[in-house]
Amino acid sequence: MAPRTRTQRPIEVIHMYFDRIHVGLAIGIGRHVVGGPVGSAPFVDEQDRRFVVQYNFIASTLEALQKSKQEISKQNDELRYLATRDPLTACLNRRLFFEMFDEQFNHAKANALPLCAIMVDIDYFKAINDGYGHSMGDEVLREVGNLLNAATRADDVVCRYGGGEFSLLMPAVTALLSALSYRDNQTGQHSTRVSNYAALLAQRVLSPRDVYVVEMAALLHDIGKIGVPDAILLKPGPLTKDEWVQMERHDRIGIEIISKSFKHPGLTDIVKHHHARYDGTNGSENEPVGSEIPVGARILTIVDAFDAMVSDRPYRKGMPVADAVSELRRCAGSQFDPELVEHFIDVIANLGSVLPENQGETISNDLVLNIGEQVERLVDAADAGDSTTFAAIAERLRMTAEKSNVPSLASAASRAIEVVSEEVQLEQLIEQSFELLAVCRSMRSNLASTEEELVDSRMT
């Protein structure tokens, strides 16, 4: 290392020594304190000692500034959280609720989707305050807020509207599935699993937009059970012949609900034809056959049957996966599309590597909703082949994931950004969209499972 000359300015010396000096522990050499890595040559003249003192002062100042910046950022995050929450119940406050209502209302209007709004008013709340004191009234509000947050799902919005009033926003799919899950939690869990299977199979053969439609159809395929009497819906043993007749009415009820609620012919057709046999046997004259059956319906038929076979019921144990796979192959060509059966068997074989590992990540309802909206826009960009918009949304997702400590999503978003930075093809955009959708799907499933456990614990 060349010694410093008298004419060199301090900033030039900094550049000269930069590759040997590191911000870190200061080490003592004789009476002098210098900064540097182990093995670096000591400074011995007076000017070098002054330089090292200046350097260490600058380094410690920069370190202090960095810590201050991190603390300010943390405090700003806390302030943003407090600015959007009711301090008593931890529900969203009224100001943010109106902002989210405008967003969801405009989205529902643009896509011809229903948006459910619920007002909750605690009866005789004033009497509670007058008779037992405001501290007891506050405790009632906190408990009601906890119950509402526990009973709602990832896409729902819960706000304290004012006084003893709460307000909820429930997008159509969530509202319908929540209503069914409330009556029959087992069916709600089945619908969620079938939706995940359907999405994994659909992405083998469909575009991201069509995968999303199949996923929604799978979530809603049993929604007609909401019109089945509890005595039949919740019966722990096998159904009688007459009870099966009533249960089978749920398909017609479900089709009517979906048709009127969503006004999406493709979505309705998937649910309408998901019981159609591939070979056309046992169907009506107007029932489609083979490749005429919508591909989404053929997918739903397979995954619905698989989950029914492997799931435990009150009156029987679930079938081993290997036996269920054998049954799918046995019925391929008659009940099921044989090509899709093989695709699904491959999905099952690779299920561990397909589903991202994000167990243990703490994810809030609001975060899942925010991420879901961003991924939906990203899917639209991938479908359109718009790599510029895709990259911008992927970067925003990465920042959101890192800030919220969701490593699985941050990694997936980073990989998407790397792909876009190269000579990107439409197929690559779609592949990255599928990966991000898989992460979101896993997040949603984990959150839904946690919420269902919480609801069950509160009801026991």
pLDDT band of residue 295 (cuts 50, 70, 90) is: very high
- Per-residue pLDDT tens over the stretch 337-365: 999 999 999 988 887 544 433 444 445 55
> Would you state the pLDDT for residue 139?
92
Q: CB-based burial of residue 5 (10 Å sphere; 0-12 exposed, 13-18 middle, 19+ buried)? A: exposed
- Predicted confidence at residue 366, as pLDDT, reads 58
At 42-95, the pLDDT tens digits run 445 666 677 777 777 787 777 878 777 777 777 776 666 667 788 888 888 888
| Over residues 412-435, mean pLDDT | 67
According to CATH, what is the number of the domain 365-455?
Answer: 1.20.120
Angle, to 10 degrees, between the axis of helix 185-202 and the axis of helix 172-183? 140
**pLDDT, position 153:** 62
Q: With bands split at pLDDT 50, 70 and 90, how would you rate the model's confidence at 149?
A: confident
What's the CATH fold of domain 94-174? Alpha-Beta Plaits (3.30.70)
Nearest to 410 by CA among 398, 400, 420: 398
Mean pLDDT of the chain, nearest integer: 73
Residue 46, pLDDT score: 67
Model pLDDT, residue 154: 61
How far, in Å, CA of 209 to CA of 207, rounded?
5
pLDDT value for 112: 61
* Cα–Cα dist 413/181, whole Å: 32
Per the DSSP assignment, residues forming a β-bridge with 160 are 166
- Cα 195 to chain centroid distance, Å, stands at 13
Residue 458 has pLDDT above 50, yes or no: no
| pLDDT score, position 404 | 74
Confidence (pLDDT) at 436: 67
Compare 124 and 31 and report the one with higher pLDDT: 124
Average pLDDT of span 103-110: 78
Provide the percentage of residues in the chain whose pLDDT is more than 90: 11
CA dihedral 393, 398, 401, 407 (to 10 degrees): 140
**320 pLDDT exceeds 60?**
yes
User: Which pLDDT band, with edges at 50, 70 and 90, does 393 fall under?
Assistant: confident
Determine the average pLDDT of the residues in 223-244. 73
Q: How far apart are CA 237 and CA 414, in angstroms?
A: 50
Local confidence band at 445 (pLDDT 50, 70, 90 cut-offs)? low
Q: Average the pLDDT over 203-219 and give the result.
A: 84
Per-residue pLDDT, averaged over 325-345, amounts to 92
Which one has a higher pLDDT value, 329 or 87?
A: 329
Instruction: Write the DSSP string, 94-114.
Output: HHHHHHHHHHHHHHHHHTT--
Q: Which residues face 341 on adjacent strands? A: none
Domains of the chain, by residue range, sit at: 10-72, 94-174, 185-353, 365-455
CA 344 from centre of chain: 23
Give the pLDDT of residue 325.
92
Of the pLDDT bands very low, low, confident and very high (cuts 50, 70, 90), residue 26 is very low
Q: Which CATH class is domain 185-353?
A: mainly alpha
Pick the residue with more confidence: 294 or 47? 294
Pairing of strands 165-171, 157-162: antiparallel
Check whether 268 has a pLDDT greater than 50: yes
Supply the pLDDT for residue 63: 80
Bigger pLDDT: 412 or 302?
A: 302
Q: How confident is the model at residue 136 (pLDDT cuts 50, 70, 90)?
A: very high
pLDDT of residue 395: 80
